[in-house]
Structure 1
Amino acid sequence: MNDIIQRLYVTGYQSYELGIFSEQDPKVKVIKNVLKRELVALIENGLEWVMISGSLGTEIWTGQIINELKESYPEVKLAIIFPFERFGSNWKEHNQLLLSELVQTADFVDAVSHQPYQNPGQFKNHVNFLLQHTDAALVVYDTEYPGKSKFFLGDVEKYLEQNPYELLTITMDDLENSSDFGDSV
Protein backbone atom coordinates (compact mmCIF):
# COMPACT_ATOMS: atom_id res chain seq x y z
CA MET A 1 0.00 0.00 0.00
CA ASN A 2 1.68 3.20 -1.17
CA ASP A 3 -1.01 5.65 -0.15
CA ILE A 4 -0.15 8.38 2.32
CA ILE A 5 -0.98 7.40 5.88
CA GLN A 6 -3.04 10.28 7.27
CA ARG A 7 -4.59 8.57 10.31
CA LEU A 8 -2.48 6.20 12.38
CA TYR A 9 -3.30 4.12 15.44
CA VAL A 10 -0.29 3.44 17.67
CA THR A 11 -0.28 0.65 20.22
CA GLY A 12 2.00 -2.03 21.62
CA TYR A 13 3.36 -3.34 24.84
CA GLN A 14 2.07 -2.01 28.09
CA SER A 15 4.81 -0.92 30.46
CA TYR A 16 4.42 -3.91 32.83
CA GLU A 17 4.78 -6.33 29.87
CA LEU A 18 8.29 -4.94 29.40
CA GLY A 19 9.11 -4.95 33.11
CA ILE A 20 8.99 -1.15 33.18
CA PHE A 21 7.64 0.28 36.41
CA SER A 22 9.13 3.78 36.27
CA GLU A 23 9.16 6.47 33.60
CA GLN A 24 12.90 6.85 34.38
CA ASP A 25 13.66 3.28 33.23
CA PRO A 26 16.30 3.54 30.44
CA LYS A 27 14.14 1.29 28.23
CA VAL A 28 11.50 4.06 28.05
CA LYS A 29 14.00 6.42 26.41
CA VAL A 30 14.96 3.78 23.83
CA ILE A 31 11.34 2.98 22.97
CA LYS A 32 10.45 6.67 22.75
CA ASN A 33 13.43 7.36 20.47
CA VAL A 34 12.46 4.57 18.06
CA LEU A 35 8.79 5.63 18.12
CA LYS A 36 9.77 9.24 17.53
CA ARG A 37 11.92 8.32 14.54
CA GLU A 38 9.04 6.34 12.98
CA LEU A 39 6.47 9.04 13.71
CA VAL A 40 8.62 11.85 12.29
CA ALA A 41 9.08 9.91 9.04
CA LEU A 42 5.31 9.39 8.79
CA ILE A 43 4.54 13.04 9.64
CA GLU A 44 6.97 14.22 7.00
CA ASN A 45 5.12 11.96 4.56
CA GLY A 46 1.67 13.41 5.32
CA LEU A 47 0.51 11.91 8.63
CA GLU A 48 -2.12 14.19 10.20
CA TRP A 49 -3.69 12.27 13.09
CA VAL A 50 -2.20 9.88 15.63
CA MET A 51 -4.75 7.91 17.65
CA ILE A 52 -4.17 6.08 20.90
CA SER A 53 -6.46 4.40 23.40
CA GLY A 54 -4.66 5.71 26.47
CA SER A 55 -3.17 2.43 27.68
CA LEU A 56 -0.06 2.61 29.83
CA GLY A 57 3.23 2.04 28.06
CA THR A 58 3.49 2.41 24.28
CA GLU A 59 0.31 4.46 23.93
CA ILE A 60 1.03 6.96 26.71
CA TRP A 61 4.62 7.35 25.45
CA THR A 62 3.28 7.96 21.93
CA GLY A 63 0.98 10.70 23.21
CA GLN A 64 3.90 12.34 25.01
CA ILE A 65 6.01 12.17 21.84
CA ILE A 66 3.26 13.73 19.72
CA ASN A 67 2.97 16.59 22.20
CA GLU A 68 6.74 17.18 21.89
CA LEU A 69 6.62 16.94 18.09
CA LYS A 70 3.83 19.52 17.82
CA GLU A 71 6.46 22.24 18.32
CA SER A 72 8.19 21.26 15.07
CA TYR A 73 5.14 19.77 13.35
CA PRO A 74 2.09 21.80 14.41
CA GLU A 75 0.00 20.06 11.74
CA VAL A 76 0.00 16.71 13.59
CA LYS A 77 -2.89 16.06 15.94
CA LEU A 78 -3.43 13.61 18.80
CA ALA A 79 -6.72 11.79 19.33
CA ILE A 80 -7.42 9.65 22.38
CA ILE A 81 -10.21 7.19 21.71
CA PHE A 82 -11.05 5.25 24.87
CA PRO A 83 -12.82 1.89 24.64
CA PHE A 84 -15.29 3.02 27.32
CA GLU A 85 -16.04 5.88 29.71
CA ARG A 86 -13.86 6.30 32.80
CA PHE A 87 -11.06 4.24 31.23
CA GLY A 88 -8.08 4.20 33.62
CA SER A 89 -10.11 5.42 36.62
CA ASN A 90 -8.99 2.39 38.68
CA TRP A 91 -5.28 2.94 38.00
CA LYS A 92 -2.75 4.12 40.58
CA GLU A 93 -2.78 7.88 41.07
CA HIS A 94 0.53 8.44 39.24
CA ASN A 95 -0.72 6.56 36.16
CA GLN A 96 -4.03 8.43 36.22
CA LEU A 97 -2.04 11.66 36.24
CA LEU A 98 -0.06 10.60 33.14
CA LEU A 99 -3.31 9.91 31.32
CA SER A 100 -4.97 13.09 32.57
CA GLU A 101 -2.07 15.21 31.31
CA LEU A 102 -2.47 13.70 27.84
CA VAL A 103 -6.23 14.18 27.84
CA GLN A 104 -5.72 17.88 28.59
CA THR A 105 -3.35 18.32 25.64
CA ALA A 106 -5.06 16.06 23.08
CA ASP A 107 -6.79 17.57 20.07
CA PHE A 108 -9.70 15.15 20.32
CA VAL A 109 -10.91 12.87 23.14
CA ASP A 110 -13.88 10.51 23.10
CA ALA A 111 -14.91 6.97 23.96
CA VAL A 112 -16.39 4.38 21.62
CA SER A 113 -18.75 3.21 24.39
CA HIS A 114 -20.28 5.97 26.46
CA GLN A 115 -20.79 3.56 29.37
CA PRO A 116 -18.25 2.44 31.98
CA TYR A 117 -16.75 -1.02 31.46
CA GLN A 118 -19.46 -3.65 31.14
CA ASN A 119 -18.11 -6.48 29.00
CA PRO A 120 -15.31 -7.56 26.62
CA GLY A 121 -17.50 -6.61 23.65
CA GLN A 122 -16.60 -2.99 24.34
CA PHE A 123 -12.98 -3.78 23.46
CA LYS A 124 -14.04 -5.53 20.24
CA ASN A 125 -16.18 -2.52 19.23
CA HIS A 126 -13.26 -0.26 20.06
CA VAL A 127 -10.87 -2.18 17.80
CA ASN A 128 -13.43 -2.20 14.97
CA PHE A 129 -13.82 1.57 15.32
CA LEU A 130 -10.05 2.13 15.22
CA LEU A 131 -9.58 -0.07 12.16
CA GLN A 132 -12.38 1.71 10.30
CA HIS A 133 -11.11 5.19 11.20
CA THR A 134 -7.38 4.81 10.55
CA ASP A 135 -5.28 4.03 7.49
CA ALA A 136 -2.63 2.08 9.36
CA ALA A 137 -1.41 0.88 12.73
CA LEU A 138 2.08 1.14 14.19
CA VAL A 139 2.54 -1.62 16.76
CA VAL A 140 5.49 -2.11 19.09
CA TYR A 141 5.36 -5.89 19.17
CA ASP A 142 7.44 -8.98 18.57
CA THR A 143 5.91 -12.42 18.04
CA GLU A 144 8.71 -13.95 20.13
CA TYR A 145 7.53 -11.90 23.13
CA PRO A 146 3.73 -12.25 23.18
CA GLY A 147 1.67 -9.63 24.94
CA LYS A 148 -1.84 -8.24 24.90
CA SER A 149 -1.30 -6.71 21.45
CA LYS A 150 -1.47 -10.19 19.88
CA PHE A 151 -5.27 -9.89 20.08
CA PHE A 152 -5.22 -6.59 18.18
CA LEU A 153 -2.89 -8.09 15.57
CA GLY A 154 -5.32 -11.00 15.10
CA ASP A 155 -8.11 -8.51 14.47
CA VAL A 156 -5.92 -6.62 11.98
CA GLU A 157 -5.24 -9.86 10.06
CA LYS A 158 -8.98 -10.53 9.75
CA TYR A 159 -9.61 -6.92 8.74
CA LEU A 160 -6.89 -7.11 6.06
CA GLU A 161 -8.72 -9.99 4.37
CA GLN A 162 -11.35 -7.54 3.07
CA ASN A 163 -9.93 -4.05 3.59
CA PRO A 164 -6.86 -2.07 2.59
CA TYR A 165 -4.84 -1.32 5.71
CA GLU A 166 -1.18 -0.97 6.53
CA LEU A 167 0.44 -2.66 9.51
CA LEU A 168 3.79 -1.27 10.63
CA THR A 169 5.73 -2.89 13.46
CA ILE A 170 8.61 -2.09 15.74
CA THR A 171 10.14 -5.34 16.97
CA MET A 172 12.55 -6.16 19.77
CA ASP A 173 15.30 -6.36 17.14
CA ASP A 174 14.46 -2.81 16.05
CA LEU A 175 14.73 -1.65 19.67
CA GLU A 176 17.93 -3.58 20.35
CA ASN A 177 19.53 -2.32 17.15
CA SER A 178 18.82 1.26 18.15
CA SER A 179 20.83 1.13 21.40
CA ASP A 180 21.68 -1.00 24.39
CA PHE A 181 18.03 -1.87 25.00
CA GLY A 182 18.83 -5.59 25.14
CA ASP A 183 21.21 -5.04 28.05
CA SER A 184 18.47 -3.42 30.08
CA VAL A 185 15.71 -6.00 29.46
Structure 2
Amino acid sequence: MYDVLAVTGYKPHEIGIFNEKHDQLPYLKKALAKKITSLKEEYDIKWVITSGQPGVELWAAEAVIDMKDMYPDLRLATLAPFHEQEERFPEAVKALYETVWQKSDYRDYITKRPYDSPAQLRLKNEFIVQKSHASLVLYDEATEGTPKFFLSSALKKQQQEDYPIIYLTPDDIEEMIREELDDRSWN
Protein backbone atom coordinates (compact mmCIF):
# COMPACT_ATOMS: atom_id res chain seq x y z
CA MET A 1 0.00 0.00 0.00
CA TYR A 2 1.33 3.40 -1.01
CA ASP A 3 -0.75 6.05 0.74
CA VAL A 4 0.93 9.10 -0.77
CA LEU A 5 1.62 9.57 -4.49
CA ALA A 6 3.73 12.45 -5.79
CA VAL A 7 2.92 13.52 -9.35
CA THR A 8 5.13 15.57 -11.62
CA GLY A 9 6.16 15.89 -15.23
CA TYR A 10 6.82 18.31 -18.01
CA LYS A 11 6.02 21.99 -18.06
CA PRO A 12 3.63 22.91 -20.92
CA HIS A 13 6.32 24.44 -23.17
CA GLU A 14 8.51 21.32 -22.80
CA ILE A 15 5.89 19.26 -24.61
CA GLY A 16 4.72 21.90 -27.07
CA ILE A 17 1.53 22.96 -25.30
CA PHE A 18 1.31 26.73 -25.35
CA ASN A 19 -2.32 27.26 -24.33
CA GLU A 20 -5.28 25.47 -22.77
CA LYS A 21 -6.90 25.03 -26.20
CA HIS A 22 -4.18 22.71 -27.55
CA ASP A 23 -5.90 19.82 -29.37
CA GLN A 24 -4.00 17.08 -27.51
CA LEU A 25 -4.37 18.56 -24.02
CA PRO A 26 -7.72 16.84 -23.30
CA TYR A 27 -6.09 13.48 -24.08
CA LEU A 28 -3.11 14.23 -21.85
CA LYS A 29 -5.45 15.20 -19.01
CA LYS A 30 -7.52 12.06 -19.57
CA ALA A 31 -4.37 9.90 -19.55
CA LEU A 32 -3.28 11.45 -16.25
CA ALA A 33 -6.71 10.89 -14.72
CA LYS A 34 -6.81 7.30 -15.99
CA LYS A 35 -3.34 6.54 -14.57
CA ILE A 36 -4.08 8.16 -11.19
CA THR A 37 -7.37 6.23 -11.03
CA SER A 38 -5.63 2.91 -11.71
CA LEU A 39 -2.97 3.69 -9.08
CA LYS A 40 -5.69 4.70 -6.59
CA GLU A 41 -7.41 1.39 -7.13
CA GLU A 42 -4.23 -0.72 -7.20
CA TYR A 43 -2.41 0.86 -4.24
CA ASP A 44 -5.26 2.48 -2.29
CA ILE A 45 -3.68 5.92 -2.62
CA LYS A 46 -5.04 8.37 -0.07
CA TRP A 47 -3.08 11.52 -0.98
CA VAL A 48 -1.72 13.00 -4.19
CA ILE A 49 0.98 15.66 -3.81
CA THR A 50 2.12 18.21 -6.38
CA SER A 51 3.95 21.49 -6.07
CA GLY A 52 1.34 23.20 -8.24
CA GLN A 53 3.73 24.03 -11.05
CA PRO A 54 2.33 24.59 -14.56
CA GLY A 55 1.77 21.60 -16.81
CA VAL A 56 1.50 18.03 -15.60
CA GLU A 57 1.33 18.98 -11.92
CA LEU A 58 -1.62 21.35 -12.26
CA TRP A 59 -3.40 19.05 -14.72
CA ALA A 60 -2.96 16.09 -12.36
CA ALA A 61 -4.24 18.19 -9.44
CA GLU A 62 -7.25 19.17 -11.55
CA ALA A 63 -7.88 15.45 -12.26
CA VAL A 64 -7.72 14.60 -8.54
CA ILE A 65 -10.24 17.35 -7.75
CA ASP A 66 -12.55 15.89 -10.42
CA MET A 67 -12.10 12.36 -9.00
CA LYS A 68 -13.25 13.28 -5.49
CA ASP A 69 -16.90 12.43 -6.21
CA MET A 70 -15.89 8.88 -7.13
CA TYR A 71 -13.21 8.61 -4.41
CA PRO A 72 -14.25 10.73 -1.41
CA ASP A 73 -11.22 9.52 0.58
CA LEU A 74 -8.76 10.85 -2.02
CA ARG A 75 -6.98 14.01 -0.87
CA LEU A 76 -4.89 16.58 -2.69
CA ALA A 77 -1.89 18.38 -1.20
CA THR A 78 -0.28 21.33 -2.94
CA LEU A 79 3.18 22.06 -1.57
CA ALA A 80 4.45 25.14 -3.37
CA PRO A 81 8.24 25.56 -3.38
CA PHE A 82 7.98 29.23 -2.32
CA HIS A 83 5.51 32.07 -1.73
CA GLU A 84 3.98 33.70 -4.81
CA GLN A 85 5.18 31.07 -7.31
CA GLU A 86 2.12 31.88 -9.43
CA GLU A 87 3.13 35.52 -9.92
CA ARG A 88 4.98 34.74 -13.18
CA PHE A 89 2.35 32.34 -14.54
CA PRO A 90 0.25 33.40 -17.56
CA GLU A 91 -3.27 34.45 -16.54
CA ALA A 92 -4.98 31.16 -17.54
CA VAL A 93 -2.40 29.13 -15.62
CA LYS A 94 -2.61 31.48 -12.64
CA ALA A 95 -6.40 30.99 -12.55
CA LEU A 96 -6.01 27.19 -12.60
CA TYR A 97 -3.34 27.38 -9.89
CA GLU A 98 -5.60 29.50 -7.67
CA THR A 99 -8.48 27.03 -8.15
CA VAL A 100 -6.22 24.08 -7.32
CA TRP A 101 -4.77 25.92 -4.31
CA GLN A 102 -8.25 26.69 -2.95
CA LYS A 103 -9.58 23.16 -3.55
CA SER A 104 -6.53 21.38 -2.11
CA ASP A 105 -7.15 19.52 1.13
CA TYR A 106 -3.76 20.63 2.36
CA ARG A 107 -1.62 23.50 1.11
CA ASP A 108 1.62 24.98 2.30
CA TYR A 109 4.93 26.47 1.19
CA ILE A 110 8.07 24.40 1.45
CA THR A 111 10.22 27.48 1.90
CA LYS A 112 8.41 30.23 3.73
CA ARG A 113 9.56 33.10 1.51
CA PRO A 114 9.32 34.29 -2.11
CA TYR A 115 11.73 32.93 -4.72
CA ASP A 116 15.35 33.83 -4.06
CA SER A 117 17.37 30.82 -5.18
CA PRO A 118 17.22 27.75 -7.44
CA ALA A 119 17.98 25.77 -4.27
CA GLN A 120 14.31 26.22 -3.36
CA LEU A 121 13.35 24.06 -6.34
CA ARG A 122 15.83 21.36 -5.34
CA LEU A 123 14.45 21.45 -1.78
CA LYS A 124 10.93 21.12 -3.22
CA ASN A 125 11.87 17.93 -5.07
CA GLU A 126 13.63 16.42 -2.06
CA PHE A 127 10.80 17.35 0.32
CA ILE A 128 8.03 15.94 -1.87
CA VAL A 129 9.96 12.72 -2.49
CA GLN A 130 10.50 12.30 1.26
CA LYS A 131 6.80 12.90 2.00
CA SER A 132 5.56 10.43 -0.64
CA HIS A 133 5.51 6.62 -0.90
CA ALA A 134 5.58 6.45 -4.74
CA SER A 135 5.71 8.81 -7.67
CA LEU A 136 4.05 9.16 -11.04
CA VAL A 137 6.18 11.02 -13.55
CA LEU A 138 5.28 12.05 -17.09
CA TYR A 139 8.71 11.71 -18.63
CA ASP A 140 10.59 10.21 -21.53
CA GLU A 141 14.37 9.98 -21.32
CA ALA A 142 14.57 10.86 -25.03
CA THR A 143 12.96 14.24 -24.27
CA GLU A 144 14.91 15.81 -21.45
CA GLY A 145 13.22 18.40 -19.28
CA THR A 146 12.60 19.60 -15.76
CA PRO A 147 11.26 16.24 -14.48
CA LYS A 148 14.86 14.96 -14.47
CA PHE A 149 15.53 17.00 -11.32
CA PHE A 150 12.64 15.37 -9.46
CA LEU A 151 13.74 11.97 -10.75
CA SER A 152 17.21 12.52 -9.36
CA SER A 153 15.76 12.77 -5.84
CA ALA A 154 13.29 9.92 -6.44
CA LEU A 155 15.99 7.56 -7.71
CA LYS A 156 18.12 8.26 -4.62
CA LYS A 157 15.19 7.32 -2.38
CA GLN A 158 14.48 4.25 -4.52
CA GLN A 159 18.04 3.00 -3.92
CA GLN A 160 17.45 3.13 -0.16
CA GLU A 161 13.91 1.79 0.15
CA ASP A 162 10.82 0.55 -1.65
CA TYR A 163 9.85 3.64 -3.65
CA PRO A 164 8.08 2.89 -6.92
CA ILE A 165 8.57 5.38 -9.74
CA ILE A 166 5.76 4.93 -12.24
CA TYR A 167 6.29 6.47 -15.66
CA LEU A 168 3.65 7.83 -17.96
CA THR A 169 5.35 8.43 -21.29
CA PRO A 170 4.35 10.43 -24.35
CA ASP A 171 4.04 7.04 -26.11
CA ASP A 172 1.43 5.98 -23.50
CA ILE A 173 -0.53 9.14 -24.23
CA GLU A 174 -0.25 8.61 -28.00
CA GLU A 175 -1.58 5.08 -27.50
CA MET A 176 -4.52 6.44 -25.53
CA ILE A 177 -5.26 8.97 -28.28
CA ARG A 178 -5.23 6.16 -30.88
CA GLU A 179 -7.60 4.08 -28.73
CA GLU A 180 -9.93 7.07 -28.25
CA LEU A 181 -10.00 7.79 -31.98
CA ASP A 182 -10.56 4.11 -32.80
CA ASP A 183 -13.44 3.98 -30.32
CA ARG A 184 -15.00 7.08 -31.91
CA SER A 185 -14.72 5.62 -35.39
CA TRP A 186 -16.74 2.56 -34.26
CA ASN A 187 -19.51 4.66 -32.71
In the superposition, the TM-score normalised over structure 1's length comes to 0.91
Q: Is the 8 A contact 2:50 2:78 kept in 1?
A: yes
What is the aligned counterpart of 1:35 among 15, 32, 38? 32
Residue segments in structure 2 that go unaligned for 5+ positions in a row: 180-187
Deviation of the 1:155 alpha carbon: 2.0
Q: Does 1:12 align with 2:6?
A: no
Deviation of the 1:158 alpha carbon: 2.0
Query: SS of the residue aligned with 1:10?
Result: strand
Deviation of the 1:24 alpha carbon: 2.1
Kindly provide the amino acid, as one letter, of the partner of residue 14 in structure 2: E
Query: Which residue in the other structure is 2:62 paired with?
Result: 64
Structure 2 Cα separation of the partners of residues 91 and 174 of structure 1: 28
Q: Is the 8 A contact 1:83 1:111 kept in 2?
A: yes
Equivalences for 1:19-168 in 2 at 5 Å? 19-45=16-42, 46-168=44-166
Deviation sequence 1:9-62 (CA, Å, 0-9, x none): 100011111111221212111111111111111222311000111111101111
How many residues align? The count is 178
Structure 1 Cα separation of the partners of residues 8 and 131 of structure 2: 15
Structure 1 Cα separation of the partners of residues 126 and 151 of structure 2: 12
| Larger helix percent | 2
Query: SS of the residue aligned with 2:160?
Result: coil
Instruction: Single out whichever of 152-161 and 114-123 deviates more from structure 2.
Output: 152-161
Deviation >6 Å, runs of 4+: none
Deviation of the 1:115 alpha carbon: 0.8
Query: SS of the residue aligned with 2:81?
Result: strand
Query: Which residue in the other structure is 2:185 paired with?
Result: none
Q: Is the 8 A contact 2:81 2:110 kept in 1?
A: yes
Q: Percent identity?
A: 31
Structure 2 Cα separation of the partners of residues 27 and 55 of structure 1: 19
Kindly provide the amino acid, as one letter, of the partner of residue 52 in structure 1: T
Query: SS of the residue aligned with 2:110?
Result: strand
Structure 2 Cα separation of the partners of residues 91 and 68 of structure 1: 23
Q: Is the 8 A contact 2:139 2:167 kept in 1?
A: yes
Deviation of the 1:93 alpha carbon: 2.1
Q: Is the 8 A contact 2:126 2:150 kept in 1?
A: no
Structure 1 Cα separation of the partners of residues 162 and 22 of structure 2: 37
In the superposition, the TM-score normalised over structure 2's length comes to 0.90
Instruction: Single out whichever of 24-33 and 109-118 deviates more from structure 2.
Output: 24-33
Deviation of the 1:180 alpha carbon: 4.3
Residue segments in structure 1 that go unaligned for 5+ positions in a row: none
Kindly provide the amino acid, as one letter, of the partner of residue 125 in structure 2: V
Structure 2 Cα separation of the partners of residues 32 and 91 of structure 1: 19
